[in-house]
Chain A
Amino acid sequence: MDWLGPEEWQAVALSLKVAVWATLVSLPLGVVTAVALARWEFPGKQLLNGLVHLPLILPPVVTGYLLLLTFGTRGPLGALLEPLGIVFAFRWTGAALAAGIMAFPLMVRAIRLSVEAVDPKLEQAASTLGASRLWVFGTVTLPLILPGVIAGAILAFAKAMGEFGATITFVSNIPGQTQTLPSAIYAFLQVPGGEASALRLVAVSVVIAMGALLASEWLSRRVAKRVAGT
């Protein structure tokens, strides 16, 4: 990859790290949220639904600023977590948090659709055979929604790779620290003679996006076939 300068390479690597962490950490939470919204009845369900979808509707800058207010070193949660060694402001972890929150609605929507597609009659059948609710989820529901979970994860990964507005508002644009791929492209375009670097990063973006898309297609086809039971 010597055709990429060290600064460019840094941005690509950071973006991959941020997107992978954002996806992996939010995935279990996304599955639980999707199941809760699809199957459970509880007070405040509409409120939860609204909260989950908020980042999709709010301008990303607003989400970023709200994150800064909440998780900044002087924010209520930021101040609470700092003694524990968890710092988000102006760190790559903050970029991952912003990316994860921005991607969360997309992930939950994809998984929720697949949960709703699972016939509750199968879960009933499992329970009459002696499986507790947790076992039913682990052995019947989860395997059947796996294609949706994978699709949700890929969507979230793609969204996290491309997140710009909330990230730059929350953690700024520090090379090597918080300068993700979109931030780097934006920065190169601001300086004279930066077009070549920007174009190279654009090419990398296209390759990663295409790769993720193809991988998800292949993966979900495989899993869908397994689940269809033929």
Chain B
Amino acid sequence: MSLSVDIRHALPGLALDVRFEAPAGITVLFGRSGAGKTTVVNAVAGLLRPDQGRISVNGRVLFDSGAGVNLPPHRRRLGYVFQEARLFPHMTVRRNLAYGQRFAPKGAGGEEMGRVVEMLGIGALLDRRPGALSGGERQRVAIGRALLAAPKLILADEPLASLDEARKAEILPYFERLRDEVAVPILYVSHAAAEVARLATSVVVLEDGRAARQGAAAEVLSDPAVTPLGVRSAGAMLEARVVRHHADGLSELQADGLTLWLPRVPQAEGTPLRVRVEAHDVMLALTRPEGISALNVLPATVREIRMGDGPGALVQLSAGPNRLLARVTRRSVEALELRPGLELFAVLKAVGVAKESVADL
């Protein structure tokens, strides 16, 4: 199960030249607005014809400029979840959901209506019209509609961008369930670091029309050279597990041998969790600090230092098998004589950043 993209396309002000592979799971196309993300997704969907290149899903060629292949959108068998849900206003939710089913080949192995409705929690909405739904409900129906068309690949173009924070929190778990319960690979466009950290199996970073970096999520996100949104929003992601809830209101987490203390998390003991540690929440100390209020002080080794254009610098650390990012000033880099290989201590000012991972939702 994989998507293979290799396209070139000239847009006003942007020469797109993108090559990447998206394996099973959620591949996030990550980059600032104007980096060409939507163009790539529309090319995959067949809504836009690239100047040159080749696109295939599981070996099936959708587009090949060399061979003169360009399947129309309706023959590509993809599910597209748009930023605005684009539900058909004249149909009930039920008919919207069933729309794509009619066109799926018999025995295409698509999802069952009942299961999808249950998974997305939209059973109560079936007889309503899109006009009577909230933004979050509409987006859930749109996800179900795409899924029921028995797609070989799901495309999602910033499906949360038009929603407020509360609605985003409502939809994210459904994408996580999709990632974990449905075998269909998902290409997900985002410019929000938190979404990437939470959803991504792998990440493709788009910068100025090029795939600047691609790889597993934890690896790409902790790379100090990858800051498509600027140093301010950089941060690393750790895969952790809830070990114990303690009586004083703290939860103990383990991430590959590291112990982390967080304010009580709602998940049960044993639950896997993704933890995001923002670079500006990490302080560095050459000796283990004494008499400090921070609970999470981890021994770490400097791997790489990237000086920014301004007064800041990003330091990549390894703590056991985990990667962390710290944002410090250039002055501190010089004062502490930071260099690759130096052993020090990372003080995490805040790890109130736990984002629930999927399995428990």
> Which residues of chain A have a CB within 8 Å of any CB of chain B?
119, 121-122, 124-133, 135-136, 139-140, 143-144, 226-230
Contacts and interface: CB of A to CB of B under 8 A. Distances in A.
Given A128-B80, A130-B77, A229-B89, 15 more contacts: A121-B82, A122-B86, A124-B86, A126-B88, A127-B74, A128-B45, A128-B155, A129-B100, A130-B74, A130-B102, A133-B74, A135-B74, A144-B89, A229-B87, A229-B91
A143 B90 contact: yes
Identify whether the interface residues of A are mostly helix, strand, loop, or mixed. helix
B281 to A, nearest CB: 40
B198 interface: no
Contacts of B130: 229
Given A129-B100, A130-B103, A227 B90 contact: yes
In this complex, the member of B84, B86, B149 whose beta carbon has the largest number of chain A beta carbons within 10 angstroms is: B86
A129 B103 contact: yes
9 contacts: A119-B86, A127-B47, A128-B79, A128-B80, A128-B155, A129-B74, A130-B102, A140-B88, A228-B89
A119 B86 CA distance: 9
Interface string B74-113: 1111111010101111110000000110111000000000
B250 interface: no
A128 B73 contact: yes
The bracket for how many chain B residues form the interface is 20 to 34
A224 to B, nearest CB: 10
Contacts of B77: 130
B161 interface: no
Contacts of B47: 124, 127-128
A126 B99 contact: yes
B349 interface: no
B108 to A, nearest CB: 10
Which of A125, A139, A140, A228 has the largest count of B CB atoms less than 10 A from its CB? A125
B129 A229 contact: yes
B123 interface: no
B159 to A, nearest CB: 13
| 5 closest residue pairs by CB, A with B | A130-B103, A229-B89, A229-B131, A129-B100, A229-B129
Contact of A125 (B76, B86, B132): B86
A100 to B, nearest CB: 29
B341 interface: no
Contacts of A125: 80, 82, 86, 88
A63 to B, nearest CB: 37
Most chain A CB neighbours (cut-off 10 Å) among B129, B132, B155: B129
Nearest to B73: A127
A227 B75 CA distance: 28
B289 interface: no
B72 interface: yes
A139 B45 CA distance: 20
B131 A129 contact: no
Contacts of B87: 229
Contacts of A226: 90
A129 B81 CA distance: 10
Contacts of B75: 130
Contact of A228 (B82, B86, B131): B131
A229 B86 CA distance: 12
Given A128-B78, A130-B77, A229-B130, A121 B86 contact: yes
Contacts of A143: 90
Contacts of B102: 130
